[in-house]
Structure 1
Amino acid sequence: MKDNETVETGKKEAKNPPAFKKSLDFTVTATSSPKAGDSCCSNANQGSSACCEEDHCSSMSGENAGVYERIPQERRKPGDQAEAMEPNGSIRSYRIEGMDCSSCALTLENHLKEKPYVKSVSVHFSSATMKIDHGNEVTDIVREVDKLGYKASLITKRRGQVELQPAKGASSVPLLSGALLALGYLGSLAGVTAWLTMALYAVSMMIAGYKPAKSAFYAVQSRSLDMNVLMTAAALGAAFIGEWLEGATVVWLFAVGNMLQTRSIDKTRNTLRSLMDLTPDDAWLKTDSGLARKPVEAISAGDRIVVKPGEKIPLDGVVLEGLSMVNQAPITGESVPVDKEPGSIVYAGSLNANGSLEIRVTKPADDTAVARIIHMVEEAQDKKAPTQTFVDQFARIYTPVVFILALLIMFVPPWFAVGSWSEWFYRGLELLVVACPCALVISTPVAIVSAIGNAARQGVLIKGGSSLEMAGKIDAVAFDKTGTLTEGKPKVSYVTGFGIPEEEVVSIARTIEEHSRHPIASAIMEYAKEQQIRPLSGESYQAIAGKGAQASINGKPYFAGNARLFQEDLHLSLAPIAAILSELQRSGNTLVIIGTDQELLGIIAVSDTIRPVTAAAISKLKAAGIRQTVMLTGDHEGTAAKISKQAGVDRYLAGLLPEDKVEGLRQLQHEGYTIAMVGDGINDAPALASADLGIAMGGAGTDTAMETADIVLMADNLERLPYTVELSRKALAIIKQNIWFSLIVKAAALLLIFPGWLTLWIAVLSDTGAALIVILNSMRLLRMK
């Protein structure tokens, strides 16, 4: 039990050191110089004697600390600036219902910014949320939002789990309005008096047009030209020139289109919110008096819970007792259930299959892996892609320009006696309707939200539209070796001593490596325990950045590391053992040389195995259009050649320090490749940041991986990488389809105005229909597997 607890404590400690983040100008907070027990590896600054030969090496002190500061300015990605933490004061988040276009969000922002009690406000169309810093009551904000025709509700931890529901009466308004419109039309055919049919049309317009007219009033008041303003102006203009049927039809079609658009977009948003339903609300807490059902919010780290067969695991933790198979697909995307035993890590939201498990909770409800996924996915929805930013800027210019053009068409030709006043006024109204860029503005965000939602359900966390776009553009992928292409669990394969017994070599190595949790160190420790070889009495443990480690045994310094440590630092000749070193390296082993500053004492060879899914994943990447695959490793040539051949990568770069991996990526970029780097978090942070796209593996168990990369594969394997590339490319294709379709429909409508072939109701139908088609096309991304 103690061993398990030590592991978990280590994980917690690893979360708190000054971790590298791209968003903080690529620097690391200064730490004190290495102390006894420090090393060049692992998230907790602990490492191995063979750090320099392993991909997990990433010293954050000494000569390598500057790696993080030397990430070139031009490689820093736009939109990655640090975001200030929200104070616990007056900033609140609201869910907004009824927004079906980003211009709605702009109108709402402009309206609230004018209120003296609002310090700042940000409305996000994609996620239908609003963050606002205000000093008045929540009810005041809800009332102001309601004025514009939308519904606001304060988001709390529990409230966030509620899906968006269609507003009450949302479908009855178009139904009643349509019925009155139909009665008026049938009455006109039956010869009913004109004033009665006109009254039916007018009532129909008022019922369906009340909400858009109200929103239009506040939009104009806040100096915003949104779709409500354009449609209201068109409807009133039609009534003004006596085209009551046209006006009523415009308003009714607009109401029906809004209802369908809102429902479709809310379905996309709710797909993301379904992640929130993964975890149960309660858990069986183990107490001295037995099991008690408690809300998950009332359970703290360190408490013990029991999960029965068939139940969802409510909180992250470590298994203390029991054996079972657990379906982790909702979190990691793994299709096959995973065996769990004492010592295994389990995640909230996964399903316990066939055995009862007693679990020690390691994280509270608001800090579980699934809670972090939900938080980051919600943030990702509001990070605009470059395409979306361009479209939004285009729409902001396009709408007022066309609005002014419509006014000129209404009044200039009649002024010069070119045609009748009513004829040109009608054409101006048509142009007002066509001016609404709803389909164009929706074309990108709905596709992005659909893709991000689908990916999250498959165990892939995409951090925003820019990351999604870049993933669709990459044509080369670079991989870290250890823990990415390989299992990352090496085993000792060979031990030899030079004039001393093998047991003594292992004993010295175990003494030096006792303070490390690096995979190489773990392999040596595990081997020593299996052979029942005890450590010696050591002190003054110290990491030698990029080369190894040392410790004092009986007052004498001993070293464990690679060839460079003994050749460059200790100035010892390796000629007498060159043959054995060469042979072991050709066999694909990583070598740890043991010795003093006077003599070589022995060699420990450690080998790693390739992951079963690696070769298949790389083959699928190539089938998806990736032109170049590269392995970057700190390991020696022999191991690199062996692993690269087994994995099927096109080429490899061996013997790299962390800064060398950055140079390797620059070399690929100079060759013209748009490159993604795949690693496992903090150890590959410089390379992840320097690549065009950083992809981290194993995010479910690593806070650092979530923070560092642009895309996180929650499972600790490459199975989801080809899917991610294919999804991103399909999303890019759909975005392009949406944009071109929207522009072609607009152009066609504009061309039909001047010959007089376009009517107001056809203009509305084309605009609304185009928006619906764009939404439905984007929603195809939700079904991609």
Structure 2
Amino acid sequence: MKEYQVKGLTCAHCTQELQDEIQKLEHGSDAILSYNTGKLRVNPNVSMSDVSSVLKSEGAYIDAHAAHAAHEHHHHDHDEEGHAHSHDHSGNSNTKLLLILAAVLFGITILLDGKVPTSAAIIMYLISMAISGYPTFLKGIKNLFRFKFNIDTLMTIALIGAIGIGEWKEATLVALLFGLNELLEGLGMEKARKSMETLLQVAPKEATVISDGVETVVPIASLNIGDIVLVRSGEKIPSDGIVTEGKSSVNEAAITGESLPVEKSVNEPVFGGSINNEGVLRIKIEKAYQDSSLAKILHLVEEAQETKTPTELFINRFSKYYTPAIIVVSILVFLLPPLFFGGEWSKWLYQGLAVLIVGCPCSLILSSPIAIVSGITRNARNGILVKGGVFLEQLGKIDTLAFDKTGTLTKGEPHVEVVKSYDEKTFLEVAYAVEKSSSHPLAKAVMKFLQEKEIVAGDPDDIETVSGRGIQAKVNGQLYYLGNEKSMEHVQIPDEIRQDINTLKEAGLTLVLIANQTDILGMFGIADEIRDESRAVIQSLHEIGIKHTVMLTGDHQKTAEKVAKAVGVTEYFGNLLPEDKVAKVKELVSKGKVAMIGDGINDAPALASADLGIAMGKGTDSAIETADIVLMQDHLGKLPEAILIAKKVNRVIKFNITFSLALKLAALLLTIPGWLTLWIAILSDMGATIFVTLVSLTVLIQKKQ
């Protein structure tokens, strides 16, 4: 599929119609034209001259600057974007100037009413009408001949009718207000798009590569894996990599949404797009830019805008029937009173024309897209990637959250929770000597504890790992054993120590025991450390309306119970294999709207089985690719806010639809006593359009923390 930037899309309804027309072209059946992003994706075999003709019929066109930029390297993008934006901006300025000119002319004509000949006033009204509404009339007249009834056709019929019955003043006011409505509608979407573009501009453009001591500035696209780049203070890190030299704090807000700087030193990973705050870093590039975290984020965010939610699809279907239905109603309003109730033809023609204007579905179609783009943008600013409007809508509806335990509610890193010592000095020194050379996760947890206690010991004389039996080592000529309970079979364990072992096991701890040839010297009770924020997050989720929080884990039931109590979930299940997690998620889905949150490769099937899959950003690529929503932070802290944003978007969309329909219904009811005027009709539509746009943009407002 080829991608083009389209300018001049005035409304969501017209965009939908243009997409339908392009899909009728040869090879065009899978074409997608998005009002939200202004992007057209088509099969490369489609004739672009035919596409341009279709777009031209609605006053839209392919932006040559953006099309050219798509074929250039990244370092040209910035300039080309600048041209495109200035072009678009000047288009808006011209429209504003013409509307102001038309409004001034209209005002002068009203002031001169009765002081100049009627023919002169009519000419002035016509000029004002033409200046403010000529694109609408041209499109409307073309559509009339094609029997295609959209907003432009309805407006054109209404204006021709108003002129036909001599309502010059009202016809001009309708043209002016409609022109203003179109402009404001475009500006509303532009505001949401601009907010998104600001987000997308965090991408770095260039990198300073060091090769044989020589510094070369290269475009980001030409970076290779293994290149060493130099990043000075204030510069953006060009792509994901590892620090090879230097120490600094880095702002990762573009990736994780976290504003606090993160300290980085040698051998630590860094993300492309994050900013080096101070000092100079040398970084070895580990991913080409297009595979980096930032590039994936930007790609996902752009794609997210182009998916349509069930609500949007419903509104599009509804408007296809709504507009023709309104035409039928307007004909009945015009014909029935004069034919059967002795009404005046001119009065009821006027009422019928006003009903036509009420038939404009703009505000209804605009109820959803601006709110959705705003919601996706707001979440992306917080480091939460929602892969489409449909998932944002779902997030606002979930009532059950299923969590994986390890790495999600816990840190996924073992730590020493309890120490039982029966010969403290020997026990701790032997533990240090035996564990310091081991890379086992439990050994690392023990070493971290010993280092905090400032225990130091020499190397063992001899060390041997016995499969399934732990470690045997000689320290200062004495033989010691380190391992689990099974590796202590050579020792007669006294009752009080046996009781300690059972107590720690019941508490869900993993045991590391140390003994000599006759006695147990002590033991470490090790657990996966619970994340600091887990309890507060679960509590917040319950407060914002999540009824059911469930923890799923492969760990044994005792460990599951311990973590579940500590974090406050409503239900927990232990001893689950990956396929058991899937079965459990499916069972939950049968009872409610379920989101599953995980970070490991074994979570991917469960994420895919839930109504909504949410992955932790520093988890595996597999979980991130399977998930519908990605939390780019390595914690759950931003999850409640993401759900609140989704709930707000859903509320805004519901409100917008209700408000639009209520205003239209109120305007239609005014026809019963014959009170509906052309300007009330256009104001009802315009008021609704402006209002739903402003309400949708409130989603972008972020309270300062």
TM-score of the pair, normalised by structure 1: 0.75
Aligned to 1:351: 275
Aligned to 1:608: 528
- Which of 423, 427, 444 aligns to 2:351? It is 427
C-alpha distance in 1 between matches for 2:103 and 2:463: 85
Aligned to 2:598: 679
2:42 alignment partner AA: I
Any residues of structure 2 matched to 1:643-662 within 5 Å, and which?
A: 643-662=563-582
1:609 alignment partner AA: E
C-alpha distance in 2 between matches for 1:469 and 1:419: 49
Q: Tell which deviates more after alignment, 473-482 or 300-309.
A: 473-482
Aligned to 1:73: none
- The Cα shift of 1:692 comes to 2.5
Call closer, same or farther: CA 1:535–1:465 in 2, change over 3 Å.
farther
C-alpha distance in 2 between matches for 1:394 and 1:549: 70
- The Cα shift of 1:296 comes to 0.9
Q: Tell which deviates more after alignment, 712-721 or 608-617.
A: 608-617
C-alpha distance in 1 between matches for 2:671 and 2:336: 16
C-alpha distance in 2 between matches for 1:332 and 1:92: 31
Aligned to 1:40: none
1:170 aligns with 2:84: no
Find the structure with the greater CA-based Rg.
2
Instruction: Deviation per CA, 1:33-57: give whole Å up to 9, x if none.
Output: xxxxxxxxxxxxxxxxxxxxxxxxx
1:726 alignment partner AA: L
Higher relative contact order (CA 8 A, sep 6+): 1
C-alpha distance in 2 between matches for 1:620 and 1:494: 30
1:484 aligns with 2:408: yes
1:721 aligns with 2:644: no
- The Cα shift of 1:604 comes to 9.1
C-alpha distance in 2 between matches for 1:93 and 1:535: 63
Residue pair 2:241, 2:271 contacting (<8 A) in 1 also: yes
1:94 aligns with 2:94: no
1:694 aligns with 2:613: yes
1:166 alignment partner AA: H
Any residues of structure 2 matched to 1:211-226 within 5 Å, and which?
A: 211-217=135-141, 219=143, 224-226=148-150
Aligned to 2:479: none
2:598 alignment partner AA: G
Any residues of structure 2 matched to 1:734-753 within 5 Å, and which?
A: 734-753=652-671
Call closer, same or farther: CA 1:384–1:117 in 2, change over 3 Å.
closer
Residue pair 2:603, 2:623 contacting (<8 A) in 1 also: no
- Which of 188, 206, 209 aligns to 2:133? It is 209
Call closer, same or farther: CA 1:282–1:217 in 2, change over 3 Å.
farther
- The Cα shift of 1:171 comes to 1.1
Aligned to 2:364: 440
Aligned to 2:31: 121
Residue pair 1:451, 1:731 contacting (<8 A) in 2 also: yes
- The Cα shift of 1:161 comes to 5.3
1:267 aligns with 2:191: yes
Aligned to 2:305: 381
Instruction: Deviation per CA, 1:204-253: give whole Å up to 9, x if none.
Output: 11122221123335555776432222112211221122211111111111
Aligned to 1:781: 699
Q: Which runs of 5+ in 2 are unaligned?
A: 421-426, 471-482, 488-494, 514-521
Aligned to 1:200: 124
Residue pair 2:385, 2:629 contacting (<8 A) in 1 also: yes
Residue pair 1:675, 1:693 contacting (<8 A) in 2 also: yes
Residue pair 1:315, 1:361 contacting (<8 A) in 2 also: yes
- Which of 39, 59, 65 aligns to 1:149? It is 59
- The Cα shift of 1:191 comes to 2.1
Aligned to 1:187: 112
1:467 aligns with 2:391: yes
C-alpha distance in 1 between matches for 2:446 and 2:595: 33
Call closer, same or farther: CA 1:492–1:221 in 2, change over 3 Å.
farther
- The Cα shift of 1:280 comes to 2.4
Paired residue secondary structure (2:532): coil
C-alpha distance in 1 between matches for 2:225 and 2:145: 52
Instruction: Deviation per CA, 1:503-532: give whole Å up to 9, x if none.
Output: 999999999x98x9xx67986999999997
Paired residue secondary structure (2:530): coil
Aligned to 1:258: 182
Residue pair 1:487, 1:610 contacting (<8 A) in 2 also: yes
C-alpha distance in 2 between matches for 1:681 and 1:214: 58
1:360 aligns with 2:284: yes
Instruction: Deviation per CA, 1:460-494: give whole Å up to 9, x if none.
Output: 11122221122112222221111111111224779
**Root mean square deviation, CA, Å:** 3.8
TM-score of the pair, normalised by structure 2: 0.83
Residue pair 1:309, 1:354 contacting (<8 A) in 2 also: yes
- The Cα shift of 1:605 comes to 6.3
Call closer, same or farther: CA 1:495–1:683 in 2, change over 3 Å.
farther
Paired residue secondary structure (1:696): strand
Paired residue secondary structure (2:112): helix
Residue pair 2:255, 2:294 contacting (<8 A) in 1 also: yes
1:769 alignment partner AA: G
Instruction: Deviation per CA, 1:121-143: give whole Å up to 9, x if none.
Output: 22112222211225467566446
- The Cα shift of 1:291 comes to 1.6
C-alpha distance in 1 between matches for 2:45 and 2:343: 56
- Which of 128, 131, 155 aligns to 1:231? It is 155
Paired residue secondary structure (1:588): coil
C-alpha distance in 2 between matches for 1:549 and 1:778: 64
C-alpha distance in 1 between matches for 2:132 and 2:555: 70
1:319 aligns with 2:243: yes
Q: Tell which deviates more after alignment, 430-439 or 137-146.
A: 137-146
Call closer, same or farther: CA 1:416–1:385 in 2, change over 3 Å.
same
2:13 alignment partner AA: S
Any residues of structure 2 matched to 1:754-769 within 5 Å, and which?
A: 754-769=672-687
Aligned to 1:79: none
Q: How many residues end up aligned between the 2 structures? A: 651
Paired residue secondary structure (1:326): strand
Paired residue secondary structure (1:334): coil
- The Cα shift of 1:495 comes to 11
1:618 aligns with 2:538: yes
C-alpha distance in 2 between matches for 1:520 and 1:419: 91
2:7 alignment partner AA: E
Q: Tell which deviates more after alignment, 715-724 or 113-122.
A: 113-122
Call closer, same or farther: CA 1:95–1:603 in 2, change over 3 Å.
farther
1:588 aligns with 2:508: yes
Aligned to 1:105: 15
Paired residue secondary structure (1:625): coil
Aligned to 1:404: 328
Paired residue secondary structure (1:608): strand
Residue pair 2:185, 2:689 contacting (<8 A) in 1 also: yes
C-alpha distance in 1 between matches for 2:146 and 2:597: 47
1:236 alignment partner AA: I
Residue pair 1:110, 1:223 contacting (<8 A) in 2 also: no
1:456 aligns with 2:374: no
- Which of 613, 622, 629 aligns to 1:711? It is 629
Aligned to 1:731: 649
Aligned to 1:554: none
- The Cα shift of 1:112 comes to 2.9
Identity of aligned residues (%): 40
C-alpha distance in 2 between matches for 1:457 and 1:747: 38
Paired residue secondary structure (2:89): coil
Paired residue secondary structure (2:31): strand
- The Cα shift of 1:414 comes to 3.7
